Structure 1
């Protein structure tokens, strides 16, 4: 990691000694004149996993965000952008202290985070309590743009419901009517499987068995053996990061990829294909991105991301990139004056972004409205099969903004 990305590590002693003070600072009003605010950089707090199961995902979000800012000459809406970075380690128990540190001690103007849904919901609570701008660049917990929605909270990513709901009809239409589901036993897994099951059963499908294991456990063998004995038409799964790599390899090693088609949320194969290798071939997933989307924005993005990182861009990088594009819309609307908060927020809410993923806009809960694609792993890429459902709009159940 480069010098400019010094990783802020939070020790247990530091958290215990500083949490009360940080929390107090987090809710204190800022006394800053517009002139001073204009002169100072707009400070973005990146609270992402840089170690652990989701480390690669966090780094790609970070790289995508910084790429957009670099393409704009280091400024958005004419305002210089600076960064503070903290490793959330995908630990919900540390999330409140971490985000309070960014807001209270580091005085960030915007928090961008995170990947893990449990961590994200702790961030949402603090953002609501302190009225801090928050853009969620991955975690899909439905509540963030459902019952916990707020004017200052946006996503550049998805809701868990949104990514897998279209898959239910896709699989029934393919003649796969008896399905086993498998996931980790935590928020993201439960909500993604739940959305799939909602549409799958509505269209006449039957869930034969719902298999789960604790996050982030990766001992899949007993469950794979159970799948083999159940002989379903197909399996629908949600895993991500290192766990997705292990599951796909174990599934193929057991020979099930030849007899029981594997489907899943797109995170099963996004950011993991290189490590999964041939074991991933033929897996079909639904997501708001495909590697070979043939639009000018995606072609330009992939070229620029490769030049910056020497790596192939994916949805995590796109979500980071689009989070910066959203901020750009807001700061441009206020000519860099972030004190014009209401105008900034309204501009982001009304934004229509030409994203690498395709058309991107936002509903009243500030969740993206976007296409969900059916993809298949071919030649080491998640290649487009079809649009599973166009302009998917999360129902934002429980959101009082709608």
Structure 2
């Protein structure tokens, strides 16, 4: 064989190998690890997130950016102590390409640490722990929900400016999400001249509220701000009304107080104001289509958790599209996610430098078992991402 023919043969062999590798990359399924609560207080929230994620897939032929998907699932049990072990099952045992989770901020913190240690792509579709896009921020960590600071800070501004309250008491479960939420409310409220006169808490997931309600009644603040979600939110709203406080001291909260809980809360929730990055009646074409498709598919009305799951899939698809569908091209995937403009049911949002949504926060009012939009409390609110060094 002549040198020229040998060179051509080698080039052809090399090209065939490259094409074969590229074809293999395109044929491989994207392995997605869902680490969500499927039992316990937050079970309904985990299901809604998965439903939203799968709805986006259904709308796109069961694929993300043209790539087939394989799911691996772990019940995180809302237990922070089990978070590293559960996350490592997905990363090391199942070798997933992407981790998606979770609801509980303490569990999500554990997931974020595993993601950083293993350089695994992580999308957080709910947990608002400020640290995830603060001190724990990293190029491979994204969030499609909120920080605990965002809706809480907005409600603090609203309580002082719109409702003219001067004093407030805060109440939450004593864990990361609750602590950060009440701090956000306090920052917003006191920046406009209000004063938080007492900060109350109880261990997660304790729902024995009576002693705390008695203390609130004795303190007689202008307003009460709380952070609860799921089953705890149902019981608190009902207990607050049963104690006779609803008509005496206005109750406010981050929107999780009344999202996914209104059916169970019934009349006790009617008239409550909350702040969140979503509402049930937004005048958006995207949202109307989303709500119709979700209700048709799951025979349920969607909530903010479903929206966040849907947008987790949208964000990942944007990254994959930028990388030509190749999940192994990590830099291209990350860049595509970082620069994505997500046409969400909540309204358009982009990613901050810390990979947290820059988004509108709505003031909502409960009316006839719906969280109806009253106004935009803060337009395109960006979390300060304190401690992020990325």
Relative to the length of structure 2, the TM-score reads: 0.94
Could you say which residue in structure 2 is the equivalent of 1:137? 125
1:195 is aligned to 184
Shift of 1:38: 2.1
The answer to whether structure 1 residue 185 and structure 2 residue 185 are counterparts is no
SS at match of 1:257: coil
Report the alpha carbon displacement of residue 340 of structure 1 after superposing the two structures with TM: 1.3
* Whole-Å separation in 1 of the counterparts to 2:257 and 2:181: 12
Number of aligned residue pairs: give it: 370
2:321 equivalent to 1:332: yes
Q: Distance in 2 between matches of 1:339 and 1:264?
A: 42
> Matched residues in 1 for 2:327 and 2:22: separation?
9
Q: Secondary structure at the match of 1:258?
A: coil
- Provide, for residues 315-359 of structure 1, a one-character-per-residue CA deviation record: whole Å limited to 9, x for no partner: 000000000000111111122111211011001100011100011
Give, in angstroms, the shift of residue 34 of structure 1.
4.3
Which aligned segments of 4 or more residues in structure 1 are displaced greater than 6 angstroms?
Answer: none
Instruction: Please state whether the residue corresponding to 2:77 is helix, strand or coil.
Output: coil
Q: Which residue of 1 aligns with 2:361?
A: 372
**2:254 maps to which residue?**
265
Deviation of residue 37 (structure 1)?
2.9
Instruction: For structure 1, list consecutive stretches of 5 or more residues without a partner in the other structure.
Output: 1-31
CA distance in 2, matches of 1:58, 1:34: 35
Determine which of 45, 57, 74 is the counterpart of 2:62. Answer: 74
The 3-state SS of whatever aligns with 2:186 is helix
Quote the offset at 1:399 in angstroms. 0.6
Is 1:286 paired with 2:275?
Answer: yes
Structure 2 residue aligned with 1:54, among 35, 42, 61? Answer: 42
Residue 81 (structure 2) aligned to one of 93, 103, 109:
93
- Separation in 2 of the partners of 1:83 and 1:362? 25
> Would the aligned equivalents of 1:78 and 1:335 in 2 still touch at CA under 8 Å?
no
Corresponding residue to 2:100 among 112, 115, 121:
112
Query: Which runs of structure 2 are paired with 1:246-261 in the superposition (5 Å)?
Result: 246-261=235-250
Write out per-residue CA displacement over residues 379-400 of structure 1, whole angstroms, 9 at most, x where no aligned residue: 1000011100000000111111
What does residue range 3-402 of structure 1 map to in structure 2 within 5 Å? 33-173=21-161, 174-401=163-390
Q: Distance in 1 between the 2:248 and 2:224 partners? A: 11
Aligned residue in 2 for 1:27: none
User: How far apart, in 2, do the equivalents of 1:234 and 1:292 lie?
Assistant: 26
- What CA distance in whole angstroms lies between the structure 1 residues aligned with 2:59 and 2:255? 28
1:394 alignment partner, SS class: coil
Cα offset, 1:39, TM superposition: 1.5
Which whole-Å deviations, capped at 9, do the CAs of 1:176-214 have from their partners, x for residues lacking one? 111111100000000000011011111110112111000
How far, CA to CA, are the matches of 2:21 and 2:199 in structure 1? 56
Q: Is the 8 A contact 1:183 1:213 kept in 2?
A: yes
> 1:33, 1:279 → 2: CA distance?
60
**Bigger mean CA offset, 34-43 vs 206-215:** 34-43
Superposition CA RMSD, Å: 1.0
> How far off its partner does 1:143 sit?
0.5
Gaps of 5+ in 2: 1-19
Report the Cα distance in structure 2 between the residues aligned to 1:178 and 1:167, rounded to whole angstroms: 14
Q: Assess if the C-alpha contact under 8 Å between 1:372 and 1:389 holds in 2.
A: yes
CA positional deviation for 1:33? 4.8
Q: Comparing 317-326 with 227-236, which one deviates more in the overlay?
A: 227-236
Structure showing greater Rg: 2
